[in-house]
Structure 1
Amino acid sequence: MKRAIVCTILFLNLVLSCKSSQSKTQLVAENKALKERIKTLESYDSMYTKAALELKNMNVVYRGVSNPIYISKQNVLSFEASAPGLKKIDSFGNYVLSPRTGKTVDIKIKSKLKNGDSLIENKILKIKDIGRIIGLINGNSCNSKCQLLLTVEELKNSIVGLGGDNFVFNLDLSVKGFKLKLPDSDVIEVEGNNIPIKMNNQIEQLKPNDIVYIFDIKLKINNSNFYSLRICKTPLIQIRIIEQP
């Protein structure tokens, strides 16, 4: 649109200069005025092109997470973006944002326009807390106020995992270990993510309505985008033994 306007102005100026008997001084003045008009159009175009900000795979930013963000600004000589917890990754507009306190974060984008002026824009993003991480047994979950119902055979060699309560990310979590408490037995430290085969004899002695506890699950976050995530202790898992159907 801007190019079409400029071409129209140039065309009209040429036609008028050919049909008139204006002096050289007048033509020089008109040519200067035309250049000023073009400069004004370029400045107008730059000032009203807003900065583009893209959140990769997210609509908001999450606390405790390094949120990938892409920021760009067209028709400017340069721009700088700043915000609490914002870190520039490269010269191609890639940033990560690790939100701090509050419910929103302001990203200030300061641009240097082609006409030498500066333009400051503010982008406001909402901050949310991530969902709560919970323990899983064979892919099933239950909070600390209820009990998972398992038979002895289901409990043997069970796999302990981790999931989320309305969780929005793929953290790629793995279980490094946990603690196991059987009735009339001391707490057992277990390495890995499953109940060891060597414990089958003890588990086979369990009776219906016996309660088994799994707690202090040790986890590892394998997704490098979430290296700064701090996870509170996962709630314990209560298992009530039921009869084999």
Structure 2
Amino acid sequence: MEALKVSDNSKLEAVLETSNLNIVYRGVSNPIKISFPNAIDIKAVGVGLSKKEGIGNYLMIPGSGKTVDITIKAEMIDGSIITDVKTLRIKDIGKLIGRINEIGCGNKCDVLMNKNQFKNALITSDLDDFLYPYYFKVTSFKIKANNTETIKVDGNQITTDISIKLEKTLNIGDKVIIFDLKVKSNSGYRIKPPSPIFIKIIE
């Protein structure tokens, strides 16, 4: 984890650690570790902040706004109390990116594929630069190739019969779109629908 350091007027440094330097994500539980040199007890308050077991262990679920302040009170060895305030930036979780065989870039580009690569291909979805251990599992999706009918697939894998059908209908230069991905997650966050996967057949 990376540390965010801010000194108060006494020149002592409070240390606040998050998984992402100076950033907490809106709508999910962000683990935060607070420490203070020579402190025997630490208490912190802030909107969306809750205490966990152990000194300096907290969870932050930020609400509205672009920043959140955490007020830290540290009881020192000599009995004095030092107060410090940290400001964290609040960031919205970005849109999930759909991927086929772990390749995908949303609306930014086409995935280049051979026709035979559809066989047993896995459809997944994730977030770029997101460090928390949440899963986003695809439970169903739709496939449309050129002007053919839309195929709905339950699960997260292109089955053999569907891949055979695609191989018979696709030619070099044809486009395939995988869209309407349904996802379940353990994050507790209201997930925005993942971006579709745009595919161009190269051979």
TM-score normalised over the length of structure 1:
0.65
1:55 aligns with 2:17: yes
Q: Assess if the C-alpha contact under 8 Å between 1:54 and 1:71 holds in 2.
A: yes
1:211 aligns with 2:171: no
Superposition map of 1:1-245 within 5 A: 48=10, 50=12, 52-64=14-26, 65-73=28-36, 74-75=38-39, 79-111=42-74, 119-208=82-171, 209-222=173-186, 227-243=187-203
> Given the superposition, is the C-alpha separation of residues 147 and 93 from structure 1 closer, same or farther in structure 2, using an over 3 Å criterion?
same
Q: Assess if the C-alpha contact under 8 Å between 1:152 and 1:206 holds in 2.
A: no
> Given the superposition, is the C-alpha separation of residues 119 and 179 from structure 1 closer, same or farther in structure 2, using an over 3 Å criterion?
same
Q: Assess if the C-alpha contact under 8 Å between 1:60 and 1:128 holds in 2.
A: no
Q: How far has the Cα of 1:229 moved from its partner?
A: 3.1
- Percent same amino acid at aligned positions? 36
User: Alpha-carbon deviations, 1:10-29, whole Å to 9, x = none?
Assistant: xxxxxxxxxxxxxxxxxxxx
3-state secondary structure, aligned to 2:194: coil
> Given the superposition, is the C-alpha separation of residues 71 and 233 from structure 1 closer, same or farther in structure 2, using an over 3 Å criterion?
same
User: Alpha-carbon deviations, 1:65-118, whole Å to 9, x = none?
Assistant: 311112245445x55311011011124321011222333211112456788875
| Alpha-carbon distance in structure 2 between the residues aligned to 1:110 and 1:219 | 41
Amino acid at match of 1:212: V
Structure 2: gaps of 5 or more residues: 1-8
| Alpha-carbon distance in structure 1 between the residues aligned to 2:199 and 2:75 | 63
User: Alpha-carbon deviations, 1:130-169, whole Å to 9, x = none?
Assistant: 4442111112113325322222211232211224344444
| Alpha-carbon distance in structure 2 between the residues aligned to 1:147 and 1:58 | 30
Give the helix-richer structure, 1 or 2.
Answer: 1
Q: Assess if the C-alpha contact under 8 Å between 1:53 and 1:69 holds in 2.
A: no
Amino acid at match of 1:104: T
TM-score normalised over the length of structure 2:
0.76
> Given the superposition, is the C-alpha separation of residues 80 and 210 from structure 1 closer, same or farther in structure 2, using an over 3 Å criterion?
same
RMSD of the TM alignment (CA)?
A: 3.0
Q: Assess if the C-alpha contact under 8 Å between 1:147 and 1:237 holds in 2.
A: yes
Structure 1: gaps of 5 or more residues: 1-46
Q: How many residues align?
A: 192
Larger radius of gyration: 1
